Amino acid sequence: MNHRILIVIVLYKEVLTNSIALKTLKESILISDGYFRIYIHDNSPEKYEVIEDDVYYIHSKNNIGLSKAYNQAAEYARMNNFNWLLLSDQDTNYPIGILNDYIKAVENNLSIKLFVPIVRTINGFLFSPFKYKHKRGRPLKHITSGEHSLKGLSVINSGILINLDSFFSCGGYNEKAAIDFSDHLFIERLKKIESKFYLINKEIIQDFSNESTDNDKLYNRQIRIILTIKNCQRNNVFEKIEYFLFILRHTIALFYKTKQLRFIKCFFSYYICNKRIHENEE
């Protein structure tokens, strides 16, 4: 079969050649059977000069986030006759040979349009797939490879292999969720047209060592999440309650972590009282 896979890596303040995702996926390309091209969307302030023929590089000086970058990559894929997208963060470590595992799974499961690996943190914690209910993710203790229902489960962005037709049929990524919540909203869209996914028998490692513990950055992220949730479509009252409980739990967790009242005030000002969030506050 003709598998043309566009590998999409989004960078932010990372030198291209230092990206562990790029390094490990290139190693797999060398021993893989399909046709691959690497698409780099760089959201860093400074442009990186790329001289590699097998890499398509695009730079956005103003950080447009993940969702818009993925949608732009999908448009590039459609114009260049690719039929699959493999999405990745810059700091994901892939085992050698994983691309052949994706291809084998696709060939053996023609009715499935979404393929993902097991994702673990550097400490071995099972991070994805995970239980997903009421807009809230909960970790699984164990999951086996093979076909799974999307009902009650979700996955993170990194490692997703998605059929391009399905990507466009579900509407792609919600660009109002630039970073936070982008994967949840995309899978919710996909569930409307696809009922299952396939978990390949490979594990990737997601490095969360750069997760911020700076309280100012945590505060700015809280504002971004609130803005995202305010922009999310609510189909019924039940969904309104789900989003309210999600951001309330998130706010309480931040308050206990930092012992700072500004997270509570932020919740009341921007979510409960619906104060307008200006660009310089994001």
Bridge partners, residue 51, by sequence: none
Distances (CA, A) of 7 to 38, 86, 152, 153: 5, 5, 27, 24
Type of residue at 139: P
Q: Are residues 87 and 68 in the same domain?
A: yes
219 with 202, same domain? no
**Per the structure, how many domains does the chain have?**
2
Q: Per residue, what are the HEC states of 209-253?
A: CCCCCCHHHHHHHHHHHHHHHHHCCCCCHHHHHHHHHHHHHHHHH
pLDDT tens for 32-88 read: 888 999 999 999 888 887 767 778 999 988 888 899 999 999 999 999 999 999 999
- C-alpha 83/C-alpha 78 separation (Å) is 7
- Average pLDDT, stretch 105-126? 94
Domain of residue 256, residue span:
215-281
Q: Point out the domain boundary residue: 187, 206, 225.
A: 206
Strand partners, 244: none
Indicate the pTM of the whole model: 0.86
pLDDT digits (tens, 9 = 90+) for 216-257: 878 887 887 887 777 777 777 877 887 788 888 888 888 888
Sequence length of the chain is 282
Q: Looking at residue 13, which CATH number applies to its domain?
A: 3.90.550.10
